[in-house]
Homo-oligomer: A and B are copies of this chain.
Amino acid sequence: MSSPRPRIPEATVARLAVYLRVLAGLADGGRSNVSSGELASAAGVNPAGLRKDLSHLGPCGIRGVGYEVATLRDRIARVLGVERSRPCVLVGIGNLGTALADYAGFGSRGFRFVGLFDAAPARVGQRIGGQPVRPMTELAEVVAATGATIGVVATPADVAQSVCDRLTAAGVRSILNFAPVALSAPDGVDVRQVDLSVELQVLAFLGQQRGTTVEVTA
């Protein structure tokens, strides 16, 4: 009703997550106040842009002083919807999947894996980070029981679409995909793609361009 929340640009949301991480670190370090300049420097962005990002949350700083670390952290966390830990499921417990399941950073950022799944019988039953790997047959059951709305796909490319279908059928609404394929999901389901080799190739291009600024050997 009285929520002045027209919409927050997606690029801003991504940066808010970065600010949140920096603020959490500052709070742990005992800091109570920060200026936009210092925060922007730590996050690697422009100070004016940071203030504009924060303006989407309404006024949350004190002019002449700066921002209160704990207050700003909590407000960003609430806006992002990570004040409470969110249940996620992870499919594909290969090298990357194992790394993700073990990554402690997720736990402190408002996410917890409530189910690890793999199609290979050899993987099922292994324990990773204190959790057992389950067979794919239990996917729908676990999603329903835990209310998980986020699924992470770390499978080979050839089965990623099939896994995506099963996740959405089970009720997952958001998917983070590490497999190098474009997934198609029904309307109402958000898919984000993380492609590691694309990142490397962009770097390769930038590096090459730096070497051959305009000159090209025809």
Q: Which residues of A contact B (CB under 8 A)?
A: 1-3, 5, 7-8, 10, 13-14, 16-18, 20-21, 42-44, 79-82, 86, 88, 94-96, 98-100, 102-103, 105-106, 109-111, 149-150, 152, 173-176, 180, 182-184, 188, 190, 192-210, 214-216, 218
Contacts and interface: CB of A to CB of B under 8 A. Distances in A.
Tallying the copies of this chain within the complex gives: 2
Given A21-B198, A80-B208, 18 more contacts: A1-B218, A3-B215, A3-B216, A5-B214, A13-B202, A13-B206, A17-B197, A42-B182, A80-B201, A80-B205, A86-B204, A96-B103, A106-B196, A106-B197, A111-B204, A176-B203, A190-B206, A192-B202
Contacts of A215: 1, 3
Contacts of A16: 201
B197 A192 contact: no
Closest 7 CB pairs of A and B: A44-B182, A81-B208, A95-B99, A17-B201, A3-B216, A174-B203, A109-B197
A101 to B, nearest CB: 9
10 contacts: A10-B206, A17-B197, A42-B182, A44-B184, A95-B102, A106-B196, A109-B201, A110-B201, A111-B197, A190-B203
Nearest to A81: B208
B218 A190 contact: no
Contacts of A194: 194, 196, 199
B95 A3 contact: no
A126 to B, nearest CB: 14
A19 to B, nearest CB: 10
Contacts of A208: 80-81
Contact of A176 (B21, B94, B111, B200): B200
A135 to B, nearest CB: 22
B10 A202 contact: yes
B105 A180 contact: yes
A5 B205 CA distance: 13
A81 B174 contact: no
